[in-house]
Amino acid sequence: MNLFYNIASILVGVLLIAFGIFTLIKKKNILFCVLTFIHSALFIGFGILGFFLMNTEHEFITILAMLAFTITYLLVMLTLYKKEPKNNEDNPAMKK
């Protein structure tokens, strides 16, 4: 069962790398991108570590670490990732 969490952790880490690169290109938000890359490295690292901890008494550590990384990354997203407001000029219904 822990095999699923290890593979999912690695996939989430790879997706976070892609998201961080696209965010860096589009928004130029350096702090958010650095924190994204750190979280992606943690997800990938603990996903790989989970393969070595399989069938031991410590295999639950990777699942708890993934939960902690997810919570901290959600906090980073809520505080640092801001959407840009849309201009009224782009919306033809708002023109007078």
pLDDT at 86: 65
* Alpha carbon separation from 2 to 44, 72, 81 (Å, rounded): 15, 22, 31
- Whether 94 is covered by a domain: the verdict is no
Q: What is the mean pLDDT of each run of 10 residues along the chain (96 residues)?
A: 88 95 89 93 94 87 92 93 68 59
Q: Which domain holds residue 45?
A: 2-82
pLDDT at 95: 57
**Which residue type does 39 have?**
H
- Whether 35 is covered by a domain: the verdict is yes
pLDDT at 55: 85
- Whether 89 is covered by a domain: the verdict is no
Residue 53, classified by CB atoms within 10 Å of its CB into exposed (0-12), middle (13-18) or buried (19+), is middle
